[in-house]
């Protein structure tokens, strides 16, 4: 903190706070180094500060960068993690509010009919669509080959009488071209529906979702049969709509020294929150993917029951009330 106070940004932030005299500073992520100067200046001016833990894996995985007077967290589970990892944080300074991330799934104003969403994106009304949710390059460096595996499974099932397609929703912060060859080779069954995010800077974490994207994601969830991905939190987006998720948990033959394997993802601490291994449908062998896809399509296999238990552990008991809960915390602190 002593060195931070010598940073010109600290002086700039302190001047702005003195000029505008806010009642409170709300930091939307506890891991933003860019927020340190502003929060320290607020502390020196006796302005209360709150940090929101913005992702389900942030506490055990990303750890804490900023120090604030209070924290807003998703659930009792996350509150316990904050207290466990940061022993200096007092329990009465941590408020369980839920997260606004999943509120759009309950906003019927965003809902569109199957006909509307299919027309908007050039989808075939005669097909059932499976969503492939892409990962960032760090988490799944060979992600394009999982999309290829799904395309091969879908093509095989179509030859057996199914009429399936794939909606590919790329990871919003993935700016690579690594999927292009797979998309081109399977253009007859894969439709790309890109996230509608807005670049606010050059860094990966400076790309922000728009309101239009919230609606699009909601309707992709509603009108897809289920989702497949590598360890993505979209398992929660889809289970909110009573839809299953297949997690890929096998390595690709293209894996070699210097490329990160995906198996380690499922060993992270935040996956210990699963109530059982049935909270997602795990595909542990490339050769089993087609049969798993068919079983989920026909209702013979589902993770929805256990997935909803996991959803409550992670998201909390009141997923529709997070925004209001956060406002109540703010009012409580400033008053």
Residue pLDDT, tens place only, 77-94: 999 999 998 888 999 999
94 and 121 belong to one structural domain: no
CA distances from 84 to 56, 59, 63, 90 (A): 16, 10, 12, 10
pLDDT score, position 205 = 66
65 and 44 belong to one structural domain: yes
199 and 308 belong to one structural domain: yes
Domain count, the chain: 2
Lowest mean pLDDT of 94-98, 165-169, 204-208, name the range: 204-208
Decide the pairing of beta strands 197-199 and 207-209. Answer: antiparallel
214 and 308 belong to one structural domain: yes
pLDDT score, position 109 = 97
Neighbours of 29 (CB within 10 A): 17
CA angle 101, 103, 108 (to 5 degrees): 140
239 and 134 belong to one structural domain: yes
195 and 145 belong to one structural domain: yes
Pair of tokens at residue 30? 């506890």
Give the global pTM. Answer: 0.93
Q: Is the per-residue pLDDT at 34 higher than 90? A: no
pLDDT score, position 62 = 60
Q: Is the per-residue pLDDT at 318 higher than 90? A: yes
pLDDT score, position 76 = 97
Containing domain of residue 29, as a range? Answer: 4-98+318-334
SS3 34: helix
pLDDT score, position 63 = 66
138 and 267 belong to one structural domain: yes
Instruction: Report yes or no: 169 and 195 within 8 Å, Cβ to Cβ.
Output: yes
56 and 124 belong to one structural domain: no
Exposed / middle / buried, residue 57 (Cβ in 10 Å: 0-12, 13-18, 19+): middle
Lowest mean pLDDT of 116-130, 205-219, 222-236, 318-332, name the range: 205-219
């Amino acid at each position: 903190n002593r060195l931070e106070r010598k940073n010109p940004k600290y002086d700039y932030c302190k001047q702005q706070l003195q000029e505008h005299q806010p009642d409170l500073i709300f930091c939307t992520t506890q891991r933003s180094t860019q927020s340190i100067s502003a929060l320290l200046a607020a502390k020196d001016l006796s302005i209360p500060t709150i940090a929101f833990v913005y992702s389900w894996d942030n506490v055990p995985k990303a750890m804490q960068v900023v120090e604030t007077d209070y924290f807003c967290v998703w659930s009792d589970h996350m509150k316990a993690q904050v207290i466990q990892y940061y022993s200096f944080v007092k329990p009465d300074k941590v408020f369980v509010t839920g997260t606004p991330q999943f509120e759009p799934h309950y906003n019927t104003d965003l809902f569109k009919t199957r006909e509307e969403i299919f027309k908007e994106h050039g989808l075939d009304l005669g097909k059932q669509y499976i969503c492939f949710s892409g990962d960032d390059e760090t988490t799944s460096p060979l992600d394009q080959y999982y999309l290829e595996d799904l395309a091969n499974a879908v093509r095989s099932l179509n030859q057996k009488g199914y009429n399936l397609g794939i909606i590919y929703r790329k990871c919003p912060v993935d700016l690579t071209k690594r999927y292009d060859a797979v998309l081109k080779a399977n253009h007859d069954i894969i439709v790309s529906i890109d996230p509608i995010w807005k670049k606010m800077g050059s860094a990966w974490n400076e790309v922000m979702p728009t309101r239009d994207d919230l609606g699009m994601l909601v309707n992709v969830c509603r009108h897809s049969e289920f989702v497949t991905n590598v360890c993505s939190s979209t398992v929660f987006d889809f289970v909110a709509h009573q839809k299953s998720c297949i997690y890929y948990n096998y390595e690709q033959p293209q894996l070699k020294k210097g490329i990160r394997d995906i198996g380690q993802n499922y060993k992270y601490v935040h996956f210990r929150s699963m109530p059982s291994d049935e909270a997602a449908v795990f595909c542990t062998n490339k050769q089993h993917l087609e049969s798993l896809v068919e079983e989920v399509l026909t209702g013979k296999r589902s993770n929805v029951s256990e997935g909803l238990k996991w959803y409550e552990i992670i998201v909390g008991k009141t997923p529709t009330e997070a925004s209001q809960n956060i406002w109540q915390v703010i009012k409580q602190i400033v008053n």
